[in-house]
Structure formats: C-alpha cells, structure tokens
Amino acid sequence: MNHNAIKTLGELKKTGYKPRSVKDEIRENLRTKIQEGQAIFSQIIGYDETVIPDVQRALLSRHNILLLGLRGQAKTRMARLMVQLLDEYVPIIKGNELNDDPMNPITYSGQKVIAEKGDDTPIDWLYRENRYVEKLATPDVSVADLIGDVDPIKAASLKLTYNDPRVIHYGLIPRSHRCIFVMNELPDLQARIQVSLFNILQEGDIQIRGFKMALPLDIQFVFTANPEDYTNRGSIITPLKDRIESQILTHYPESIEDAKSITSQEAGISDQQRDHIYIPELLYELIEYSSFEARYSDFVDEKSGVSARLSISALENLYSTVELRMLKNGEKKGFARISDLWGIIPAITGKVELVYEGEQEGAHQVALSFINGALKTLFLHHFPDPNKMTKGSEKDPYGVIKAYFSGGNQLDLLHDYSQKDYEEALKEVAGLESIASTSVIYTSDPFIAKELVLFGLAEAGVISKDFLVGGTNFSDPLADVWGELNDE
C-alpha cells in the first residue's frame, strides 16, 4: 500500500484496508517473522533460550507483559525492540489527538469529523517508530499525568458542562492509543495511581474525577520492575498484577562469552581508540570475571544486583587508560596490560550497592577484590596452582621466580611505562619467560602471559604485591616482615 498517495478516508476504503488491534498487528507480524526465520530481538544476547521465547509466547497470546528483573538486564531494550513488530505505517484521522483509526474512531471528535466529512475526511499516516511511548514511574506521577483531567478552561471557553467528554484533557495513556506503552519501574508508582490502570487494562473505559467514559483504548502494555523495589520503595498491587497476563523473569548473562558479546556491543568506543589500541582477549575475560565476582560477593547487596553496565563502563575506562598513556608517551599504538586494570576501578565503585561489611571495607578495596578474584581464577585456569605443589613430587615450575624475589630482587611496573620499557622490565624476572611460555596466551600476547603469572603468584601468596602511587611493586613476601623487624 502506497501510503503517500492515500489522503482521504474514501481513498483508504478503496484499498480494502481493515482495521486491527495493535495486539493483533504485533501477533501477525511476529508469526510472519518467525516463519521467515527473521531475527526479532537480534540486539539481545543471552536470552535466546529463556526470555525471548517467553516474550514471543506472551505476544502470540496478546498479553500485556511485566518484565521482572534486576537492573541492567535489558528490560527496556526488549520493550523498545517490540516496535519492529508493528506495521510500518498505520492511518489516523488527521489532527486527531488520540491517533483515531479512520475506520474505527473511538473519540467524540473523530466520530464527529467523519459524520461531517464522510469519505472526504483527511487522513495522515503514523510511522511505527512514533508508536512507542515510554514513561518512568516516579512517586510524583499523578492520575492526570497518566489518564487525564477535566480542563475547566476548555469547558468555559466552549461553554460545556463537565459531563461533556470534550472538556477532558487526555493523559499519556489515552494518547498512546494504537501504540506500545511502556511503564518503567512500576512499583515506584503510588498504589492509588496503580488503581487507575484497572479499568484501562480490562474494562476498556476511563474514570476521571468521577466522570466515567467508555474509551476502548487499543494499547500493548509493557511494564518493567526490579525485585529490589518490592521492599525498598513499593510494590505492584495484587489486583493490577493479576490484570497483567504474563510476568517474565530476566537474568544476567549466564556465560562469559555472552557477557563479552554484550560488553563489546554496548561499549562506546571511538573509532580512533579501536584503530590504535589493542586489547588482549584475556583482558576482556578479566573484566567479565570481575563482574561475576561482584555478583557473588558477600560485600554486595544481592537484591540490588550488578548491572551489565559495570563491564561496559570498565571496558570504556580500560581503553581510555591506555589512550592516556599513549598521549603522555607520544605513542601511536597502545597495548592494554593487566596493570591497566587499576583504571577501571571508578567504573566499578559506582555500580555496586555495598552491604555493611562492604562499606566498612571501603568501595575501592572491594573493587580491587573483584579484580583480584578474577585474576586468580584466570591464573589457575592457565597455570598450575602453586599452593598444590608438594615436596618431592615434581620440579616446582615457579622455583626460579621464587628464588629471584627471595634473593632481594624487586620489580616495579609503572603505569606510564612505554611498551618497550614495560617489556624490558618483565624480562628482568628470572624464570618468568619459561613458565609463561607454557600457556596458550603466550602465543599471541607474551607480555600478558608474563603479567598474569606475576599477578597470579601474588594472589596465591607466593610473592608480594604492593600498589605504588604510579604503579605496582612485586617483591618477596618476607621482605616486608624482615624490614619491619629491622626497623624495630
């Protein structure tokens, strides 16, 4: 149908157009896309076997939907992608405030203009992207904001009584007629305001200040909520929850690979950064493992969750940490290092809700504990556990490194080292090259493999690690003890 050529109701009738509800529209378009093998929620990663099938079932059932999950679980993104299931254009009565269908008007003004002009009624076309309405629920949202209110100025100027539907100023929901309407953080909506949604969801009428009017609104409702809100700020009242036909639970990515894909997709990395900065695969994994550590940490409130935005912000900060060093050193190419992870700490501290023990520990130390936990996990994945070496079993692969540091040697890895100085510093550690070369990491990123050995041995307590003002110091773990005894 060439919508540009159709300007009146009469022309629309000649095309054989038949009105259908927005839920039928979504259902039929979803069926077509599934049958043709088209991707519907292609930007959503990790939900292929869980959330997406649940959403598809709900839409095929013409259900209103509640997406329930912790922050950063793509609830709003899912809702926004549903716009793809709407028809590209739908006809509306031109100038009508509620997107009235010319073949099935529900408003007084829409019915009046058709009665007066008939087939000459001018029509307009509404694009699918303009049929998405989103509202964040806050405690100050009123019934007038959502449903509408009586407009005394309109009543006076038109000399109408308050019983006339023309005196009503419609709120956001009636103006979402024939659209997808999304209410984010539904529990934040006051209970008395939630009550005002009952009739719209089920009976098809609205009530404003005692004025009841049949208004069969055609809306696909999608609500989102965080389980944390049920105890912290409010709840979804039971009668309203009962009217929302499908409640779908979302979740965080269940695998490191899915988490990495989400982070890479969402991170705001400039072309300049991508072209000139190299991030080893291990560092992508370290960022994701740090997020996983945070989600299972006793220092973090599990009811709050740890958003996927933590990993996204961390990756952005990692790129910027390398970029800053490049600018200082006048380098054209940058290579990310494990020691650069100190730069992602600000991206972590603002993304977690700490319990009392975490507050006592301090946000900075808690963030370091996530990174250190991730380092230990990946170290043990690629290298033998130094704490499981038994005397007389086999040669200790870390023996030369231990001897190097126990001999009074130290290693300083400064944040602003040029790449050349950085690699030269790592070469000073006896035995480091030998053990690092046993890992598959060494093939593509030898300096990262060496660094992982050092940080891993520090987490295992084999060598000591101390943070300097501008870098990291590695030494013998007994050096500090002997130093303190000598001072005494």
| Angle (deg, nearest 10), helices 363-382 and 281-295 | 120
pLDDT at 291: 95
pLDDT at 232: 46
Question: DSSP assignment, residue 390?
Answer: P
Q: Quick check: 457 and 398 in contact, CB under 8 A?
A: yes
Q: Quick check: 479 and 403 in contact, CB under 8 A?
A: no
- What are the pLDDT digits (tens) for 258-314? 999 999 999 999 999 999 999 999 999 999 999 999 999 999 988 788 888 999 999
In the numeric block, which tokens belong to residue 111? Answer: 């019915």
Of 92, 86, 85, the closest CA to residue 6 belongs to 92
pTM: 0.86
Reading the chain (488 residues) residue by residue, the pLDDT tens digits are 677 789 999 999 999 999 999 999 999 999 999 999 998 898 899 999 999 999 999 999 999 999 999 988 999 999 999 999 999 999 999 988 889 999 999 888 899 999 999 999 999 999 999 999 999 998 889 888 998 887 777 767 767 765 666 777 888 999 999 999 999 999 988 888 898 888 788 766 676 666 666 778 899 999 999 886 544 456 888 888 899 999 999 999 999 999 999 999 999 999 999 999 999 999 999 999 999 999 999 999 887 888 889 999 999 999 999 999 999 999 999 999 999 999 999 999 988 888 888 888 899 999 999 999 999 999 999 999 998 876 545 688 999 999 999 998 999 999 999 999 999 999 999 999 999 999 999 999 999 999 999 999 999 999 999 988 889 999 998 765 545 545 55
List the chain domain ranges. Answer: 3-137+177-186+216-249, 253-382, 389-438+460-488
What backbone torsions phi and psi does residue 200 show, to the nearest 5 degrees? -65, -40
In the numeric block, which tokens belong to residue 157? Answer: 């100027």
CATH class, 253-382 region:
mainly alpha
CA distance 141 to 184: 12
Residue whose token pair is 């806050």: 138
In the numeric block, which tokens belong to residue 318? Answer: 């990692």
Residue percentage of the chain with pLDDT more than 70: 91
Long-range contacts at 462-465 (CB < 8 A, ≥ 24 apart): 462/386, 462/387, 462/398, 462/401, 462/402, 463/401, 463/402, 463/405, 464/405
pLDDT at 35: 96
CA distance 191 to 240: 10
In the numeric block, which tokens belong to residue 441? Answer: 């990491």
pLDDT at 456: 96
pLDDT at 161: 63
In the numeric block, which tokens belong to residue 245? Answer: 């036909």
Selecting from 2.40.50, 3.40.50, 3.30.200, 1.10.10, what CATH number does the domain 3-137+177-186+216-249 have? 3.40.50
Q: What H or E segment, with its residue span, contains residue 123?
A: strand 123-127
